[in-house]
Structure 1
Amino acid sequence: MCNMTAYDKTLSGRRRFVLAVAHVAGAVLCVTGSAANGDEPLQFGAYRSTINNLHEPIAVAVGRQNTIYVVERAAHRVRAFSSEGEERFQFGGLGHEAGRFDAPGKIAVAPDGDIVVADDGNCRVQVFDAQGRFKAAFGEHGFTDGAFRGPLGVAVDAKRIFVADAATARILVFDREGEFERTFATDDAAMKPARPVAIAAGDGVVVAADAYASRVFIFDADGAMRNTFGEWGYFPGMLAQPVDAAVHDGRCYVADHRNHRIQVFDLAGKLKYQWGLHALRPREGEGKLHYPDALAIAPDGSFAVVCESFENRCQIFGLETPAQAAKRFNPLPPGSVGGTSHFGRRVDIDGDLMALVEPDSHSVLIYDIKQPEPILIHKFGGQGTRPGRFNFPTDICIESGRKRLTVIDAGNARIQVFRLERPTTDLKYLPDMTRLVKAIDLGSVGRQIASLGERQSLTATAIDRDGRGRLFLLDAVNSLVAVLDDEANVTASFGAYGRRRGRMRD
């Protein structure tokens, strides 16, 4: 039996709204909002509450009875909370046994309540019931059908489980029992995610977020491409490292990581609205976002949850009117109102110079550190694919004695080497301090390493050079280290995935 109950509600004394709630056997199935005069629908963005003291919350899902499931990657577990933020139970823990995790990735909840978790470090997917009791696991480390190298994203519907294997740029489809069915395939490289880090299913579509390309791909449930949208940038409708997506009621919600916001599109890629103010100081919250990593929409549409591993918290947002949102939200891009960019985790120092990566602007900064306070003397790069530009630079190595600077250009799958001209005059900003010498294609490097085969390029995550100038590349995805000479020839490689001595994991 289904009946509709209408509630009149006045929001901020401005307009009267009607919330229509459908009840089936006492369970709330959906919530829709519309203005009494029909011209102003409700949208997410009204801050409700915060779940604090988490340990690197990297993923979130909302299940039946509005239970919030949060993946704590650093603690290798899943914690369950009520919609008010009260903890109900937890499961997991570090290990490779059934029911345990190693650096878990995304999480999804099936219509029947089953919980599906991408167990990244163990290269498998695990399935639990709604109370966190282990039911099944499938997958193994490898390139073959049904195997994974970096299962980061997972989605589920009534019949299938979808897995985004970021390391091999594949979207794999399994039945609910874990039997491999197929891989999403396309002959058009422009219509294929280069590094799908998240995936969502709903409303008859499957959505994949490609963090490196700053694009979102929409497939039908059988894997046929329907649409793709997004390009790197700060302005509304543009994306800067989309790391998660959700589908609900004909809309696609995207966690726009480096723009510190959630953007909402229709399935044709048209921007509908956005929410989230950039937190400029640590621990700022109450609606302000700081590098959102994941989001989820409650099945009844009554609230949304956003994870921020940088702040070790999840924020819960309710519904509001566009007029209320307009009072709070400033659509100007970061930097246009005096904000400053955030530096990455990679810093290198040699002699009097310090180099660091500024991922928000896809740039590299060089400081003179002879003075009591470091002084910026050079900045170069910017987002793009042309030589000398970057797409998410991730690590850097500076050699002032050799006048050389080496940068991992992760999004463009290459390493760029620059000549470094040391300051010879009084301290000042030097616009021509670096000059591109060469770019090293990581695909060609990977093909030199027999253990990678033809199907996988090297995924450089860290670099360094020794006193002889040899370049050491750490590939955390393939669990190996490659050694290159000055001509970009691989002279040695070592390591492999595993727990035995001499092998590496993460």
Structure 2
Amino acid sequence: MTFKEKISKIGFILSLIIIIILAVLIFQKKFIKNFQKVKFSIKLIKIIGTKYGLKGPADVFFQGNKIIYIVDSGNSRILKFNILGKYIRQWGLQGGATGEFMVPLYGAVHNFNKGNPEIYIVDSGNSRIQVFTPQGKFIKEFGRSKNAKKMLVEPTYIGFANGKIYVANSGANDILIYFKTGQFYEKKDPKDKAKHNILKKPVSIAFSKKYIYVSDYKLSKILVFDKEFNLIGTIGTKGENGHKLFHPVGIVYKDGYLFTANYGRSIITVFKLSKGFNVIKSYNFGTPGIGGRNFNDESNISISKNGKYLAVADTNNNRIILYRIFGLD
């Protein structure tokens, strides 16, 4: 065998060894990834607010990952805690004046154009939205109007998508959309082919990149619309067993999962979705009851920005329950 042939043979062997090593590394990486994949679940880690006389808290919401706000509906106030449950501040009292509340039901944090975060509170009994700084200083309000078509009537939800503000106008069975300034933009009142109202009692909204999900309390379903509010499909069926829904309230979409406060059953129902609205798996968490690990008519839920924490407003147990989420894709 000539020297050239020897070099060629050695090169071939080295190339073969490199290919085998790469194949082993790729297989090992895939094996470790699959082996380490955690099954979807939630674990209770903390109960918040029991020392502060909560009375029917209707909502809880995150600012980022470390701050939690509680909409303490029965006491007409907003409380602020850190993720460890340490009290920070509170504001509000019952009434109709600026900064006062009458049955506040929902809250959310948003900052348009990367500005300072603002706290939006759905002041349902006063049929308006109030906006505050994180310190509780009043900024503005909107939603009241002499025009019936632009008027909020017992709203229950506020959210943000496509550069606009969406409000579930539950008392009028429609969705009102506003510019970021709070100026009215348009009303969404979708109809079926027979020109009948599709929405019967919209109470909460969630958003994915393509779809808008509306929790309808009366229909006991989640309605799925495109961005133009054309009905695409529904999620869930009405009932009180299995993974059926009964008077759902708060909903949150996160990474292909739709979390639902299944209010009428006092459980959390989660749907894993394919292509936005096809349910491929369903989960139930919690049991109805007083105290302990039970739920008693939980109203709304919230997920931290990093997707690690789930907070539940356990309304009739007068507390907030914080969970750690595992296995979220």
Alignment TM-score, normalising by the size of structure 2: 0.79
Structure 1 residues 271 and 76 mapped into 2: Cα distance closer, same or farther (>3 Å)? farther
8 Å CA contact 1:154–1:200 kept in 2: the answer is no
Instruction: Name which of 245, 260, 267 aligns with 2:266.
Output: 260
**Where in structure 2 are the equivalents of 1:48-67 lying within 5 Å?**
48-51=45-48, 52=50, 53-67=53-67
SS in 2 for 1:37: helix
Instruction: Name which of 112, 118, 123 aligns with 2:122.
Output: 118
**Where in structure 2 are the equivalents of 1:374-453 lying within 5 Å?**
none
**Where in structure 2 are the equivalents of 1:139-218 lying within 5 Å?**
139-140=143-144, 144-157=148-161, 159-188=163-192, 192-218=198-224
Letter paired with 2:220: S
Deviation at 1:305, TM superposition (A): 0.4
In 1, the alpha carbon distance for the partners of 2:243 and 2:167 equals 26
1:289 is the counterpart of 2:298: no
1:352-409 Cα deviation digits (max 9, x unpaired):
xxxxxxxxxxxxxxxxxxxxxxxxxxxxxxxxxxxxxxxxxxxxxxxxxxxxxxxxxx
Identity level (%) = 23
Structure 1 residues 138 and 194 mapped into 2: Cα distance closer, same or farther (>3 Å)? same
In 1, the alpha carbon distance for the partners of 2:32 and 2:160 equals 33
Structure 1 residues 219 and 63 mapped into 2: Cα distance closer, same or farther (>3 Å)? farther
**Where in structure 2 are the equivalents of 1:228-267 lying within 5 Å?**
228-265=234-271, 266=273, 267=276
Deviation at 1:38, TM superposition (A): 5.1
8 Å CA contact 2:190–2:199 kept in 1: the answer is no
RMSD: 2.5
Structure 1 residues 90 and 272 mapped into 2: Cα distance closer, same or farther (>3 Å)? farther
Structure 1 residues 222 and 61 mapped into 2: Cα distance closer, same or farther (>3 Å)? farther
Letter paired with 1:50: I
SS in 1 for 2:149: coil
Deviation at 1:73, TM superposition (A): 0.7
Between Structure 1 and Structure 2, how many residues are aligned?
Answer: 286
Q: Report the more deviating stretch, 307-316 or 196-205.
A: 196-205
Letter paired with 2:302: A
In 2, the alpha carbon distance for the partners of 1:284 and 1:173 equals 40
Structure 1 residues 233 and 294 mapped into 2: Cα distance closer, same or farther (>3 Å)? same
Deviation at 1:62, TM superposition (A): 0.9
Higher relative contact order (CA 8 A, sep 6+): 2
In 2, the alpha carbon distance for the partners of 1:184 and 1:197 equals 14
Alignment TM-score, normalising by the size of structure 1: 0.53
SS in 2 for 1:238: coil
In 2, the alpha carbon distance for the partners of 1:222 and 1:67 equals 33
In 1, the alpha carbon distance for the partners of 2:178 and 2:306 equals 26
8 Å CA contact 1:44–1:303 kept in 2: the answer is no
1:74-106 Cα deviation digits (max 9, x unpaired):
111111111111111112221222222111111
Instruction: Name which of 272, 286, 302 aligns with 1:277.
Output: 286
Runs of 4+, deviation exceeding 6 Å: none
1:43 is the counterpart of 2:37: no
**Where in structure 2 are the equivalents of 1:56-135 lying within 5 Å?**
56-111=56-111, 113-135=117-139
Letter paired with 1:296: S
**Residue 20 of structure 2 corresponds to which residue in structure 1?**
none
1:313 is the counterpart of 2:310: no
8 Å CA contact 1:166–1:196 kept in 2: the answer is yes
Structure 1 residues 233 and 137 mapped into 2: Cα distance closer, same or farther (>3 Å)? same
**Residue 4 of structure 2 corresponds to which residue in structure 1?**
none
SS in 1 for 2:156: strand
Q: Point out the structure with the larger helix share.
A: 2
Structure 1 residues 251 and 124 mapped into 2: Cα distance closer, same or farther (>3 Å)? same
SS in 2 for 1:88: strand
1:220 is the counterpart of 2:217: no
1:167-204 Cα deviation digits (max 9, x unpaired):
11010100110111111232216772201122234545
Q: Report the more deviating stretch, 195-204 or 253-262.
A: 195-204
In 1, the alpha carbon distance for the partners of 2:197 and 2:234 equals 7
Q: Point out the structure with the larger strand share.
A: 1
Structure 1 residues 42 and 263 mapped into 2: Cα distance closer, same or farther (>3 Å)? same
8 Å CA contact 1:42–1:319 kept in 2: the answer is no
Q: Which sections of structure 1, spanning at least 5 residues, go unmatched?
A: 1-33, 323-506
Letter paired with 2:84: E
Letter paired with 2:277: A
Q: Which sections of structure 2, spanning at least 5 residues, go unmatched?
A: 1-30
In 2, the alpha carbon distance for the partners of 1:94 and 1:121 equals 10
Letter paired with 2:240: Y
**Residue 17 of structure 1 corresponds to which residue in structure 2?**
none
1:284-313 Cα deviation digits (max 9, x unpaired):
22xx32221110000110100011111001
